[in-house]
C-alpha cells in the first residue's frame, strides 16, 4: 500500500513540474483500442472530397495528463478514453487522426483557436464557456463529486465553509466554483492526481472533480486515504471534443460519427478505463424513487446501520478500527445513489443486531442471512449476495458420510440460525453447538468443541485462509439451497426497505460480482506440507499481493485474534519452561529425598543399636532382679543400672524429637529473665560427679557478678549439658575447662561467649565435615558410644537463639567448642523470692481434685498423690468435678482431657470463669492426656490449664508439677512382682508394691474391661463414629496408663481407620478379642495376688 502511494506521489511531483520553455507541440501516435462494429459512415460526396483534401485530422492534447481520458505514459503513444473515441471517429470518417501534445491546456486551446489542431478532447463546461469554441456530441458524463479523506464525512449540501478546496485548473470555470462554494478556499492544481494527493497528504481538505477521473485516481493509489464523499448539487455536464466555432462542417461529421457508436461499445470503453464501475459512473442517480421516498430520504439522511465485526469478508474492522467489507462498500454505493448517510454501529452477535433493529434502536442491519423466524421481527431487502452453504471440519477429521453427513455430529451454527429447525428434523441425532458469529464457529471446530461448522462458503474460505490455515478445511456442501446475504430493517420502515431494494436493482450484477470479488479470498486449501506449515512470511507475501490489487484490508478483529494466538503460544512456551523447571526441581527433590532416605536408613541402623543397647541392659537386669526377688533377694545395683539405662533411652528419644521439631519449624523459645552465671554453675554441679568418677578436673572461669539476660533457660541448659556430656564422655584423662565472657553491646544487648574445652580424643578433619549433618555420625570408636545428635541439636538451638556454635578439634589433642549468643539484657528476677515463698507457704499436704472417667486411672492417681503426701478427692466426670470444686477448696485440679459430657477443657474453662466472677485465687489445673502431641499441650494451655502431662504418668512427673509434701509412712512391703500374661510388674512399680491397691485396681480394671467389652459389643458390627470414638478413647487411656501395648495399638489402629473413613469391623473385632484376653489376664493376676496373701 505504501509503496503504491509513494509511486503515485512521485508521479504527481513529476507531473507538477513547471512546463519547459518549449511552446511547440510534440507528435504522438494515437493508440486506440476500440473497434467499431458498424460499417464506416456513408458521407456525402462533397464531405468526402473535403475530407480527402484535408487528408488528416489533428487532435490536441496537453501536459499534464488527465487520466483516464488523456494518458501519455510512453514517449510516443497517446491513449485513454478519449483516444478510443478518436479512433472510432477516424474509422467512421475514413481519415487518419494525428495527435499533438502541448505543454499546457492553455497552449492547446490557443492552437485550437489558431487552427493548428482540429479537435481537443476531454472538453467540458470549462471549454464551453469560451465563445470561440464549440463542443461536439458528448461521449462521457461529467458528474462533479467531492472527494474527502476516509475518516471524514460531509453532508451533501455542505458549503465547505473554511475548507481548502482543491481543483484542476481547467475543470470548471472559477466563477462557477465560487457560486457553488463561496466560503471555501479554492486551490488550483494542474492535474487530478495532484489534487487528490493534496487531500490524501493533508495539504487540502476536499477535492472537486469529475467522477470518472476522481474514481480513477483514487483506485490507482489512494483507496486507503480518500473516498468519493458525495455528488455536487450542480447541473450535470458532459465530456466532448472541442472545435473551433467556425468549423461547423467538421462538427457535423464528428457528431455523425459519434452517433454511430453503440451503447455497448460505449460501455466497453468505460469499463476498460474505469475498472468496470460503469453503472456507478454512468448513472449515480435513482430516478425510480417516488416523491414519497425522496421526501423520506430528505427527512432521514442519517441511517444507523449495525454490522457484525466477525462476519469477514462481509463486514469487519480493519487495523485502524474502521469498518470494512462487502456490505460497507455496497452501502457506500447506495449512499451515492440515494444521498443517504450510514452511521455504522458494531456488534458481534446476530441476535443482538436483530433485537436492536426490532426495538427501533437501530435502523437496519448491514449483512444478515434470511430466516423465517427472523422475518417476524425484521423486514428483509432483496439479497445482494449468494454463497453455497458448506460444512467445515478439522484438517485431520475423517470424511463425512455422503448420505447422512451430520448424523450424530456436534454441529456448530449461529445462534438463532434459520437452518436449525430443518437440520433437527433431517438429522434426529444431531447435537447443536450455538455460537454468536462465524469466527466463533470456526474456533469451536478448531478447539474440539464441535465436529462440524455450518457456514457460508465465503465466510469459511476467508477465515480458513486467514486464521485457521492448516487446521480447518471445507469438507463438503450442505444441500442445494445457498446462503443469502441481505439487508434487514425495522418492521415499520417499509419505505427504507423499498429504497434499498431499488438501489440494489440499480446496481448491475457484474458490478456486484466485482464488488464481492474485491473481498473474496482465493487462497486454495491443500494438504501439502508447505501450506500446512507456512509461517508469517507467507502471510506477509499474501498481504503484499492483496495490497497491490488494492482490494483487501486487514481488520482489527483478525489482528486481535492473531495477537491472542501469539500470546497463547508465548504463554505455552512459558508454561513449558516452568514445567521443565519444576521437573528439574522434582529431580533435585527426588535426589535429596533419596539422599535423606539413605542418611535416615543409616541413622535408623545406628538408632536401632543405640536403643537396643540400653534396652538389653534394662530387660536383662530386670529379669535378674525378678529372678532374685523370687528367692527373697533385692539387687538394688541392678535396678539402678536399669533405671539409668531407661533414663538414657528417654534422653535419646527426646533428642530425636527435638531434631524433628527443629526441622519442622515447630521449635519455639520461651525467653525469661535468668542469671546466666548461676545457670552455668548449676549445670556444672550436675556433671561434677561424672567428672570425678573418670578422674577429670572440671574447671570453670565465670564472671564474679550475676549476668542477667533474657533467654530460654531450658534450651540454654540443654545446649550446655550436651556439650559438657560430650566433653566428659570423650575425655579419658586431663580436664574439661568451661569459661564465660560477657561483653556489653549497644541497645541493651550483651554478647555471651561460652567456651568448653577438653583434652580428650579429638575429632578428625574428615569427621568434622560430617559432624553437623542430620542423621549422620562419625566413624570409629566415638560412633559406638552415642547417637551423634547432641551437637546437631546444640547448633540448631544456638542458631534459633540468634547465635552460633563453632567447633575446633585436633585428633588426639582435644576439642574446643565456642558458643556466641547475642542476648537482650534483663532486670534481676524479683519474682524468684516470691515464688519460693509461695512454694514454702503451700508446702505440706495439698487438696487435689482428680477427674477421670476411667476408674483404674482414678485409683492409680489417688495412690500416687497420697504417696506424695497430698489429700485427694475423686470424680469420674466433669460435671461432678465442677460441683466438688464449687463446694470445697482445692489447691490443684488434675483432669483427664477427653471425657464424655464435659471434658477437661470445658471443665478448665468453667473453673477459670467462676474464679474471675468470684475473684477467688486461681488454683493449679493440670491436664492429663494420652495424645502426646505439642498441639494438645498448647490446647490445654489455651483453655486455662497450667500444665499438661502425657500418659503414662510416673511419680517423678507428679513431683515436678506439684510442691513437695510430707512423705507418707511406707507401707508394709508386699510380695515381689512375678511374671504373667498381664504386666503386673508395671502395676507394682506404679503403685509402689501396694498389694491392697493392686488388688483394688485389678478388680476395677477387670470390671472396666468387661464393661468396655460389653459397650463395644452393644454398638454392633458397624457402629456410628460419634458413638464409637468416646469408648475407644476411654479404653486407650486405660491401656496407656498400664502400658497394655496390645490393647493400645488396637485402639490407635481403630481411631486411624475412623479418621480416614475406612471399614472398622475387622479392627473392632480385634479390639474386642484383646479386651477379652486382657480381662482373663487381669483375673489371673488377681488370683495370683490373692493366693500370695
Instruction: State whether 166 and 42 are in the same domain.
Output: no
Domain for residue 540, yes or no? no
Using a pLDDT cut of 70, give the percent of the chain over it: 80
d(C-alpha 2, C-alpha 547), whole Å: 9
Q: Please tell me the total count of domains within the chain.
A: 8
Q: Which CATH number characterizes residue 128's domain?
A: 3.40.190.10
Domain for residue 574, yes or no? yes
Which grid cell is 114?
489558431
- Distances 245 to 61, 135, 251, 826 between C-alpha atoms, Å: 19, 9, 9, 126
pLDDT over 50 (residue 227)? yes
Instruction: State whether 193 and 341 are in the same domain.
Output: no
Domain for residue 749, yes or no? yes
Of the pLDDT bands very low, low, confident and very high (cuts 50, 70, 90), residue 776 is low
Q: What is the largest CA-CA distance in the chain?
A: 173
pLDDT digits (tens, 9 = 90+) for 360-385: 899 999 988 877 667 778 899 989 88
pTM, entire model = 0.40
Which grid cell is 564?
491472542
Which of 667, 700, 733 terminates a domain? The answer is 667
- Distances 638 to 624, 635, 681 between C-alpha atoms, Å: 8, 5, 31
The answer to which of 264-278, 586-600, 845-859 has the lowest mean pLDDT is 264-278
Q: Is 832 helix (H, G, I), strand (E, B) or coil?
A: helix
d(C-alpha 89, C-alpha 96), whole Å: 9
Which of 646, 667, 688 terminates a domain? The answer is 667
Per DSSP, 449 falls in state S
Q: Render the burial of 346-356: b for 16+ CB within 10 Å, e for the rest.
A: bbebbeebbbb
Instruction: State whether 426 and 350 are in the same domain.
Output: no
Which of 820, 849, 877 terminates a domain? The answer is 820
Ramachandran sector of residue 829 (left: φ over 0; alpha: ψ -120 to 50; beta: rest): beta
Instruction: State whether 813 and 721 are in the same domain.
Output: yes
Which grid cell is 654?
527426646
Q: For residue 188, give the nearest of 198, 200, 176 by alpha carbon.
A: 198
pLDDT digits (tens, 9 = 90+) for 301-311: 889 999 988 88
Domain for residue 972, yes or no? no
**pLDDT given for residue 1 in this prediction:** 44
Between 457-466 and 438-446, two packed helices, what is the crossing angle to 10 degrees? 60
Per DSSP, 782 falls in state G
Instruction: State whether 492 and 357 are in the same domain.
Output: yes
Instruction: State whether 292 and 426 are in the same domain.
Output: no
Q: Domain range holding 1058?
A: 977-1093
Instruction: State whether 353 and 293 are in the same domain.
Output: yes
Domain for residue 1022, yes or no? yes
| Sheet containing strand 892-896, strands side by side | 871-875, 847-851, 892-896, 924-929, 947-950
Instruction: State whether 361 and 400 are in the same domain.
Output: no
Instruction: State whether 584 and 614 are in the same domain.
Output: yes
**Residue located via cell numbers 454398638:** 1019
pLDDT digits (tens, 9 = 90+) for 566-578: 888 888 888 888 8
- Distances 734 to 688, 762, 970 between C-alpha atoms, Å: 14, 13, 45
* Cα–Cα–Cα angle for 857, 862, 866, rounded to 5 degrees: 150
Domain for residue 544, yes or no? no
Cis peptide before 648 (omega within 30 of 0): no
pLDDT digits (tens, 9 = 90+) for 317-361: 877 677 888 888 888 888 877 878 889 998 878 888 989 999 989
Instruction: State whether 469 and 504 are in the same domain.
Output: no
Instruction: State whether 940 and 902 are in the same domain.
Output: yes
Instruction: State whether 1035 and 997 are in the same domain.
Output: yes
d(C-alpha 137, C-alpha 984), whole Å: 139
Q: Which CATH number characterizes residue 1079's domain?
A: 1.20.120
pLDDT digits (tens, 9 = 90+) for 805-859: 998 888 888 999 999 999 998 888 644 443 343 344 344 588 899 999 888 788 8
The answer to which of 674-678, 953-957, 1062-1066 has the lowest mean pLDDT is 953-957
Domain for residue 418, yes or no? yes
Per DSSP, 422 falls in state H
Q: For residue 348, give the nearest of 564, 568, 565, 556 by alpha carbon.
A: 556
Domain for residue 676, yes or no? yes
Cis peptide before 570 (omega within 30 of 0): no
Amino acid at each position: 500500500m505504501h509503496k503504491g502511494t509513494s509511486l503515485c506521489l512521485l508521479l504527481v511531483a513529476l507531473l507538477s513540474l513547471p512546463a519547459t520553455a518549449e511552446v511547440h507541440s510534440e507528435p504522438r501516435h494515437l493508440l486506440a483500442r476500440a473497434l467499431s462494429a458498424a460499417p464506416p459512415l456513408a458521407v456525402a460526396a462533397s464531405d468526402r472530397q473535403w475530407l480527402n483534401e484535408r487528408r488528416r485530422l489533428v487532435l490536441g492534447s496537453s501536459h499534464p495528463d488527465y487520466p483516464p481520458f488523456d494518458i501519455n505514459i510512453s514517449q510516443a503513444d497517446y491513449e485513454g478514453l478519449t483516444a478510443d473515441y478518436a479512433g472510432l471517429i477516424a474509422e467512421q470518417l475514413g481519415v487518419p487522426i494525428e495527435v499533438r501534445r502541448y505543454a499546457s491546456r492553455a497552449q492547446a486551446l490557443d492552437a485550437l483557436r489558431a487552427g493548428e489542431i482540429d479537435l481537443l478532447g476531454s472538453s467540458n463546461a470549462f471549454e464551453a464557456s469560451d465563445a470561440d469554441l464549440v463542443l461536439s456530441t458528448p461521449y462521457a458524463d461529467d458528474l462533479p463529486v467531492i472527494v474527502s479523506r476516509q475518516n471524514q464525512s460531509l453532508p451533501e449540501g455542505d458549503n465547505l465553509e473554511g475548507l481548502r478546496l482543491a481543483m484542476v485548473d481547467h475543470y470548471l470555470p472559477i466563477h462557477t466554483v465560487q457560486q457553488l462554494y463561496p466560503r471555501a478556499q479554492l486551490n488550483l492544481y494542474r492535474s487530478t492526481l495532484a489534487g487528490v494527493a493534496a487531500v490524501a497528504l493533508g495539504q487540502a481538505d476536499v477535492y472537486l472533480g469529475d467522477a470518472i477521473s476522481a474514481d480513477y485516481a483514487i483506485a490507482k493509489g489512494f483507496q486507503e486515504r480518500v473516498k468519493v464523499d458525495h455528488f455536487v448539487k450542480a447541473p450535470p455536464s458532459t465530456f466532448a471534443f472541442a472545435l473551433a466555432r467556425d468549423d461547423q462542417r467538421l462538427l457535423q461529421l464528428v457528431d455523425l460519427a459519434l452517433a454511430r457508436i453503440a451503447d455497448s461499445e460505449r460501455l466497453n470503453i468505460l469499463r476498460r478505463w474505469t475498472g468496470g464501475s460503469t453503472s456507478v459512473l454512468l448513472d449515480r442517480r435513482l430516478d425510480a424513487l417516488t416523491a414519497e421516498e425522496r421526501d423520506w430520504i430528505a427527512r432521514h439522511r442519517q441511517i444507523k446501520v449495525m454490522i457484525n465485526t466477525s462476519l469477514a469478508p462481509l463486514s469487519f474492522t480493519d487495523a485502524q478500527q474502521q469498518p470494512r467489507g462487502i456490505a460497507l462498500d455496497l452501502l457506500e454505493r447506495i449512499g451515492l445513489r440515494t444521498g443517504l448517510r450510514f452511521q455504522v454501529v458494531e456488534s458481534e452477535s446476530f441476535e443482538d443486531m436483530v433485537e436492536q433493529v426490532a426495538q427501533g434502536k437501530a435502523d437496519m442491519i448491514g449483512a444478515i442471512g434470511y430466516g423465517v423466524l427472523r422475518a417476524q421481527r425484521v423486514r428483509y431487502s432483496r439479497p445482494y449476495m449468494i454463497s453455497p452453504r458448506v460444512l467445515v471440519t478439522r484438517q485431520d477429521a475423517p470424511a463425512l458420510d455422503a448420505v447422512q453427513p451430520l448424523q450424530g455430529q456436534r454441529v456448530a451454527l449461529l445462534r438463532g440460525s434459520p437452518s436449525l429447525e430443518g437440520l433437527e428434523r433431517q438429522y434426529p441425532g444431531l447435537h447443536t453447538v450455538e455460537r454468536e458469529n462465524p469466527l466463533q464457529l470456526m474456533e469451536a471446530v478448531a478447539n474440539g468443541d464441535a465436529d462440524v461448522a455450518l457456514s457460508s462458503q465465503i465466510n469459511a474460505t476467508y477465515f480458513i485462509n486467514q486464521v485457521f490455515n492448516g487446521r480447518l478445511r471445507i469438507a463438503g456442501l450442505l444441500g442445494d439451497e445457498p446462503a443469502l446475504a441481505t439487508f434487514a430493517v425495522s418492521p415499520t420502515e417499509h419505505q427504507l426497505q423499498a429504497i434499498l431494494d431499488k438501489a440494489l436493482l440499480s446496481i448491475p450484477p457484474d458490478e456486484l460480482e466485482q464488488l464481492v470479488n474485491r473481498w473474496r479470498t482465493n487462497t486454495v486449501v491443500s494438504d501439502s506440507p508447505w501450506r500446512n506449515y507456512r509461517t508469517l512470511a507467507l502471510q506477509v507475501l499474501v498481504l503484499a499481493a492483496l495490497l497491490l490489487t488494492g482490494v483487501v484490508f486487514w481488520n482489527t478483529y483478525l489482528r486481535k485474534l492473531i495477537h491472542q494466538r501469539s500470546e497463547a503460544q508465548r504463554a505455552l512456551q512459558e508454561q513449558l519452561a516452568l514445567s521443565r523447571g519444576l521437573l528439574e526441581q522434582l529431580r533435585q527433590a527426588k535426589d535429596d529425598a533419596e539422599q535423606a532416605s539413605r542418611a535416615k536408613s543409616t541413622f535408623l541402623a545406628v538408632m536401632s543399636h543405640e536403643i537396643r543397647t540400653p534396652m538389653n541392659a534394662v530387660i536383662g537386669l530386670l529379669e535378674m532382679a525378678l529372678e532374685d526377688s523370687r528367692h527373697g533377694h533385692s539387687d538394688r545395683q541392678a535396678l539402678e543400672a536399669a533405671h539409668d539405662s531407661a533414663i538414657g533411652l528417654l534422653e535419646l528419644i527426646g533428642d530425636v524429637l527435638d531434631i524433628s521439631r527443629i526441622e519442622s519449624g515447630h521449635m519455639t523459645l520461651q525467653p525469661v529473665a535468668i542469671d546466666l552465671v548461676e545457670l552455668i554453675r548449676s549445670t556444672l554441679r550436675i556433671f561434677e560427679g561424672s567428672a570425678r568418677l573418670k578422674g577429670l578436673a572440671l574447671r570453670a572461669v565465670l564472671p564474679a557478678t550475676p549476668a542477667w539476660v533474657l533467654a530460654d533457660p531450658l534450651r540454654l541448659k540443654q545446649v550446655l549439658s550436651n556439650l559438657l556430656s560430650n566433653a566428659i564422655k570423650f575425655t579419658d584423662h586431663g580436664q574439661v575447662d568451661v569459661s564465660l565472657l560477657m561483653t556489653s553491646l549497644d541497645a541493651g544487648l550483651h554478647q555471651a561467649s561460652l567456651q568448653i574445652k577438653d583434652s580428650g580424643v579429638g575429632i578428625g578433619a574428615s569427621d568434622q565435615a560430617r559432624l553437623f549433618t542430620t542423621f549422620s555420625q562419625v566413624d570409629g570408636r566415638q560412633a559406638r558410644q552415642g547417637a551423634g545428635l547432641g551437637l546437631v541439636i546444640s547448633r540448631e538451638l544456638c542458631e534459633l537463639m540468634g547465635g552460633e556454635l563453632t567447633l575446633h578439634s585436633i585428633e588426639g589433642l582435644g576439642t574446643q567448642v565456642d558458643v556466641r549468643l547475642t542476648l537482650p539484657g534483663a532486670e534481676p528476677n524479683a519474682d524468684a523470692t516470691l515464688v519460693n515463698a509461695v512454694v514454702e507457704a503451700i508446702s505440706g499436704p495439698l487438696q487435689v481434685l482428680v477427674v477421670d472417667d476411667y476408674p483404674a486411672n482414678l485409683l492409680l492417681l489417688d495412690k500416687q498423690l497420697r504417696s506424695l503426701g497430698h489429700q485427694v478427692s475423686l470424680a469420674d466426670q466433669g460435671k461432678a468435678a465442677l460441683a466438688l470444686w464449687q463446694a470445697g477448696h482445692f489447691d490443684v485440679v488434675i483432669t483427664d482431657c477427653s471425657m464424655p459430657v464435659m471434658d477437661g477443657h470445658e471443665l478448665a474453662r468453667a473453673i477459670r470463669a467462676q474464679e474471675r466472677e468470684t475473684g477467688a485465687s486461681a488454683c493449679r489445673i493440670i491436664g492429663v492426656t494420652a495424645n502426646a502431641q505439642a498441639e494438645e499441650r498448647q490446647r490445654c494451655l489455651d483453655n486455662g490449664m497450667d500444665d499438661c502431662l502425657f500418659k503414662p504418668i510416673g511419680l517423678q512427673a507428679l513431683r515436678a508439677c506439684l510442691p513437695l509434701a510430707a512423705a507418707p509412712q511406707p507401707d508394709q512391703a508386699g510380695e515381689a512382682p512375678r511374671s504373667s500374661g498381664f504386666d503386673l510388674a508395671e502395676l507394682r512399680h506404679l503403685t509402689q508394691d501396694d498389694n491392697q491397691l493392686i488388688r483394688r485396681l485389678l478388680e476395677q480394671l477387670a470390671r472396666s474391661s468387661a464393661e468396655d467389652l460389653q459397650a463395644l459389643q452393644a454398638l454392633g458390627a458397624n457402629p456410628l463414629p460419634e458413638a464409637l470414638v468416646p469408648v475407644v478413647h476411654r479404653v486407650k487411656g486405660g491401656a496407656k496408663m498400664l502400658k497394655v501395648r496390645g490393647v493400645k495399638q488396637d485402639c490407635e489402629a481403630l481411631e486411624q481407620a475412623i479418621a480416614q473413613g475406612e471399614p472398622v469391623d475387622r479392627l473392632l473385632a480385634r479390639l474386642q478379642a484383646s479386651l477379652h484376653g486382657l480381662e482373663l489376664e487381669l483375673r489371673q493376676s488377681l488370683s495370683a495376688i490373692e493366693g500370695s496373701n
